[in-house]
Amino acid sequence: MIAFRAGKPGDVEEMAALEARATAHPWRIGQYRDSLLAGHLCLVMTQDDTVCGQAFAMLVLNEAEILNIAIDPTHQGQGWGRQLLDELLTQLRQFGAHRVFLEVRESNRAARSLYQHRGFVETGLRKHYYPTATGREHAILMEIQL
């Protein structure tokens, strides 16, 4: 059974391991700790008490930015990312967000498609933003009005 809960410092190692499995350029453990200490919204998705997804967002007044979102690779392509994103947007709305921003790797077509299907629109481009194994790639900027 899938459940959602607030992330806590004791989740940091499990979240870091999950993202390391999901992406070639994960956050470092210190970034997770710093984000939690800064008071950012951290949403953890669990199945049988095992972390299988996570999302971090920063809320400033009535705007939010999704900082990090990841689903364990064993659950990708099964609608889990959609469920996590929907729950995150619901919580951001409850905290007063009217607009949500994010950036996504240009090469991450699955994530871009998910965001577009949930109502995000592309608003810009940050050239050479993300590191890759062979150089840099662009970030696509997206936003949604809640």
115 flagged as catalytic: yes
Q: What is the pLDDT of residues 10-66, one digit of tens each?
A: 999 999 999 999 998 899 999 999 999 999 999 999 999 899 999 999 999 999 999
Predicted local confidence at residue 36, as pLDDT? 96
Q: Where are the domains of the chain?
A: 2-145
Could you tell me the pLDDT band of residue 131, with boundaries at 50, 70 and 90?
confident
Of the candidates 19, 32, 65, 103, the residue annotated as catalytic is 103
DSSP, res 7:
-
User: From CA 1, how far away is CA 47, in angstroms rounded?
Assistant: 5
User: From CA 6, how far away is CA 85, in angstroms rounded?
Assistant: 14
Could you tell me the pLDDT band of residue 133, with boundaries at 50, 70 and 90?
confident
Stated as kind and residue range, the H or E segment containing 129 is: strand 121-132
Predicted local confidence at residue 1, as pLDDT? 87
Predicted local confidence at residue 73, as pLDDT? 95
Query: What residues does 139 pair with on adjacent strands?
Result: 105, 126
Q: For domain 2-145, which CATH number applies: 3.40.630.30, 2.70.150.10, 3.50.50.60, 3.40.140.80?
A: 3.40.630.30
129 flagged as catalytic: no
